[in-house]
Chain A
Amino acid sequence: SQTIHQWPATLVQPVGSPLSLECTVEGTSNPNLYWYRQAAGRGLQLLFYSVGIGQISSEVPQNLSASRPQDRQFILSSKKLLLSDSGFYLCAWSTSVDTQYFGPGTRLTVL
């Protein structure tokens, strides 16, 4: 069966610091991968998606970036965090069927 991992689970970072969140999927090959952000009381905002290694599409221009160095690894990064980057970051995967399955998420607080 497929499993998706995200770490860290929680993170508190000062404004201007860098960020690296990691997501890995087990039990499937060549998944589509997604990064979402959910601000407090808000809906899910798609940030990036990837259909293969090194293939990244950005949905919302901002100070975040994503990379997919391996088939089942998806990384979300920032060089300098803003207060507005606080939120619940969710990684998801799907295969040829469009159902998406979410990881446990990372709660980021930028102070």
Chain B
Amino acid sequence: QKEVEQNSGPLSVPEGAIASLNCTYSDRGSQSFFWYRQYSGKSPELIMFIYSNGDKEDGRFTAQLNKASQYVSLLIRDSQPSDSATYLCAVNSGTASKLTFGTGTRLQVTL
């Protein structure tokens, strides 16, 4: 059973701080890793994807991948109240672009 694990939270950070969201996965053969943001009552929207070990930056977001440790993270710099949402980690399962999702981490950015 391929698994993706996330801490459900809530993770509470003050406005302007760095939020760090973490995800571990069980399938060593996984090649692609995704972060989605889901606001309450809405569908998930893609934030970032990462394929290679190391960091990938896009604006205030940085995805970090460590395949040896089977660990992927998302850093959100200068957190804003509008970043308050559930963040889903997803891992490619290798067949027909199937993704396995974690249950998500709820982020709360406080004023």
Contact = CB atoms under 8 A, between A and B. Distances in A.
Contacts, number: 47
Contacts of B88: 43-44
B96 A49 contact: yes
Interface residues of A, number: 21
Nearest to A107: B41
Q: Which interface class (under 10, 10 to 19, 20 to 34, 35 or more) fits B? A: 20 to 34
B92 A43 contact: no
Given A51-B96, A94-B97, A42 B44 contact: no
Contacts of B49: 99
Interface stretch (B55-63, B69-77, B100-108): B100-108
Contacts of B44: 44, 90, 102
Interface string A44-65: 1010010100000100000000
B87 interface: no
B99 A98 contact: yes
